[in-house]
C-alpha cells in the first residue's frame, strides 16, 4: 500500500510500505539471498550507478529490509530510513559518514556506554574533536559551538539516568549557528509511538531496534531515519564501505513483526512503569526515582511537551551504598539481571558494573551516573508480580 499519513499510527505500523510479493502472501516473505541477478549488463551498471532503482547486494539493500525501512520512515515521519545490523551499527555508520578528520562533534554528557566508548576511543583516535556538554544548558551548547562543528548528538531520555533533553531547543540553537549541523537523537527509549524528534527540529533519529521495536529479545538490529539525501549517503558510505553493518533479512522480518504490536506493547510498558515508579517513589528504602511520568520528576513538564507517554524505563537509587545495590540485584528472583531493555520480560541492571563499565569511576561521576544507580526495564508481566519481586529484594538488601 502507499503510505497514508491520515491513517493512525497502529494502522501504519501494520500496513505502511510496499509489500508487492506476486504470491499474494499476507506476511512479506524473507528474501534470504546475498545477491541479485540482472537482466543485462546495462541494468547492473545502472543500479550500481544509482540511476535505476533495484537491489544488487544484500549488504546495501534487500526487499525485506526495504519494507522495514519504508515502514520506519513512515512511523518517524521522515523521507527515508536505513536498517542496520545493530544500534551501534546505526550510530557508527551515521557518524563515520558525517564526520571527517578535523571535524568537531558536540555530544551530551550522558551516553550509553558503547556510544561513549566510540566517541572517546574511536572518533578521537581519528582526529575528530569531541566536546561533552550538558545539553540541558543552552548557554553551554552555544559556547561549545565551533566553525568545524558538524553534529550535535544526544539521547532523550538518556541511558541510564533518564535525563530528558529539549529536542526543539537544541535543534533551534544548532541550526541558528549553522543550518548544516546535523542534530542526531537516539530515541531508542521512546520509539516513534512516544516521540518523533524530526517533528521537533532534529535531522536524524537513531534506534536500537533490538529493544522496543523488536520487542522480544530475540534479535539485534538498528535503524536510522532522516532525509533521503543523508540516508542515501549513510547507506553507500557508512554502511557499505565503513562498517558493513548490514542487517540480515531474517532480523528485518522479525523487526517488521515486532512493529505490528509496537503501539500496544509500548502503551502497556508505559502504564506498568508508571505504577512501579509510583510505588518505588513512596518507599523509604529508595532515595531517588528518576521517571519523567512522576509529577515530582525534574523533567516532567518537558517530557509532557515532547513525549506522548513516559516510557518503560526507570532509574532509581537505594538508601545505602554500592553493596546494597548489588545485594538487591542479586536477590531478584523473577526479574532478570540483564542489560538489554524493551523486552516482554522485566530486566534490571547495574550500569556501573555493566553497560557503563567502559567509563572510569571518575567519568561516571562527571557524566551523572551514580555507582549505586539501578536501571529497570519494566516488562509486560502483571505489575503486582513485578513489584512483589522488587519488594522481597528490597527487604533482603
pLDDT tens digit sequence for 180-190: 999 999 999 99
205, 236, 260 — which closes off a domain?
260
4 pLDDT band (50/70/90 cuts)?
A: low
Do 349 and 251 lie in one domain? The reply is no
Q: What are phi and psi of 128, to 5 degrees?
A: -100, 120
Peptide bond into 155 cis (omega under 30): no
Do 269 and 182 lie in one domain? The reply is no
Please give the Cα distance from 374 to 243 (Å, whole number). 32
Domain assignment of residue 106, yes or no: yes
**The three three-digit cell numbers of residue 346, written as one number:** 522485566
Please give the Cα distance from 292 to 310 (Å, whole number). 6
Contact 4, 12 (CB under 8 A): yes
Do 219 and 271 lie in one domain? The reply is no
pLDDT beyond 80 at 126? yes
209, 228, 260 — which closes off a domain?
260
12 pLDDT band (50/70/90 cuts)?
A: very high
Please give the Cα distance from 225 to 165 (Å, whole number). 19
pTM equals 0.95
361: Cβ contacts below 8 Å, ≥ 6 apart: 352, 371
CA distances (Å), origin 158, targets 161, 186, 290, 291:
6, 9, 11, 11
Do 201 and 323 lie in one domain? The reply is no
**Which range (46-60, 93-107, 216-230) has the least confidence?**
46-60
Do 122 and 173 lie in one domain? The reply is yes
Q: Over the chain, what is the mean pLDDT?
A: 94
Find the CATH number of the domain harbouring 53. 3.40.640.10
Domain assignment of residue 3, yes or no: no
Active site residues: 59, 112, 186, 211
Do 282 and 209 lie in one domain? The reply is no
Please give the Cα distance from 160 to 396 (Å, whole number). 25
Q: Once rounded to an integer, what is the mean pLDDT over residues 261-283?
A: 98
168 pLDDT band (50/70/90 cuts)?
A: very high
50 pLDDT band (50/70/90 cuts)?
A: confident
Contact 322, 297 (CB under 8 A): no
Domain assignment of residue 66, yes or no: yes
Structural domain count, the chain: 2
pLDDT beyond 80 at 369? no
Find the CATH number of the domain harbouring 373. 3.90.1150.10
pLDDT digits (tens, 9 = 90+) for 326-352: 999 999 999 999 999 999 999 999 988
Quote the pLDDT of residue 280.
97
Do 266 and 189 lie in one domain? The reply is no
Please give the Cα distance from 24 to 17 (Å, whole number). 15
Host domain of residue 163? 9-260
Closest CA to 205 of 89, 90, 343: 90
Domain assignment of residue 376, yes or no: yes
Quote the pLDDT of residue 291.
98
- Between the two ends of the chain, the Cα-to-Cα distance in Å is 55
Dihedral, 390, 391, 395, 397 alpha carbons, nearest 10: 10
Instruction: Reduce the DSSP state of residue 318 to 3 states and report it.
Output: strand
221, 240, 260 — which closes off a domain?
260
Domain assignment of residue 82, yes or no: yes
Do 241 and 375 lie in one domain? The reply is no
Amino acid at each position: 500500500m502507499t503510505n497514508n499519513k491520515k491513517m493512525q499510527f497502529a494502522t501504519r505500523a501494520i500496513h505502511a510500505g510496499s509489500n508487492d510479493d506476486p504470491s499474494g502472501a499476507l506476511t512479506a516473505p524473507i528474501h534470504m539471498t546475498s545477491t541479485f541477478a540482472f537482466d543485462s549488463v546495462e541494468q547492473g551498471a545502472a543500479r550500481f550507478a544509482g540511476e535505476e532503482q533495484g537491489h544488487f547486494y544484500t549488504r546495501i539493500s534487500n526487499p525485506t529490509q526495504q519494507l522495514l525501512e519504508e515502514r520506519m520512515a513512515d512511523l518517524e515521519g521522515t523521507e527515508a530510513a536505513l536498517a542496520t545490523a545493530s544500534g551501534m551499527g546505526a550510530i557508527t555508520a551515521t557518524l563515520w559518514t558525517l564526520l571527517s578528520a578535523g571535524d568537531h562533534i558536540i555530544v551530551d554528557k550522558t551516553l550509553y556506554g558503547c556510544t561513549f566508548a566510540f566517541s572517546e576511543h574511536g572518533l578521537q583516535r581519528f582526529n575528530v574533536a569531541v566536546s561533552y556538554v550538558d545539553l540541558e544548558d543552552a548557554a553551554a551548547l552555544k559556547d561549545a559551538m565551533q566553525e568545524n562543528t558538524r553534529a550535535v548528538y544526544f539521547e532523550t531520555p538518556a541511558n541510564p539516568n533518564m535525563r530528558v533533553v529539549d529536542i526543539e531547543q537544541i535543534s533551534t540553537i544548532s541550526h541558528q549557528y549553522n543550518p548544516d549541523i546535523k542534530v542526531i537523537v537516539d530515541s531508542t527509549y521512546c520509539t516513534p509511538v512516544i516521540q518523533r524528534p524530526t517533528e521537533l527540529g532534529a535531522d536524524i533519529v537513531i534506534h536500537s531496534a533490538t529493544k522496543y521495536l523488536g520487542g522480544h529479545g530475540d534479535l539485534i538490529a538498528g535503524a536510522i531515519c532522516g532525509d533521503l539525501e543523508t540516508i542515501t549517503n549513510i547507506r553507500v558510505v557508512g554502511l557499505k564501505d565503513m562498517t558493513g553493518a548490514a542487517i540480515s533479512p531474517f532480523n528485518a522480518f522479525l523487526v517488521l513483526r515486532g512493529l505490528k504490536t509496537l503501539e500496544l506493547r509500548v502503551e502497556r510498558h508505559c502504564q506498568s512503569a508508571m505504577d512501579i515508579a509510583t510505588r518505588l517513589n513512596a518507599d523509604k528504602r529508595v532515595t531517588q526515582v528518576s521517571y519523567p511520568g512522576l509529577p515530582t520528576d525534574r523533567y516532567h513538564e518537558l517530557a509532557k511537551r515532547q513525549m506522548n507517554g513516559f516510557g518503560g524505563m526507570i532509574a532509581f537509587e537505594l538508601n545505602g551504598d554500592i553493596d546494597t545495590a548489588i545485594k538487591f540485584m542479586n536477590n531478584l528472583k523473577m526479574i532478570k539481571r540483564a542489560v538489554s531493555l524493551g523486552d516482554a520480560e522485566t530486566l534490571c541492571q547495574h550500569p556501573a558494573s555493566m553497560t557503563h563499565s567502559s567509563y572510569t569511576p571518575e567519568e561516571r561521576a562527571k557524566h551523572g551516573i551514580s555507582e549505586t544507580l539501578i536501571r529497570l526495564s519494566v516488562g509486560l508481566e502483571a505489575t503486582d508480580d513485578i513489584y512483589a519481586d522488587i519488594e522481597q529484594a528490597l527487604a533482603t538488601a
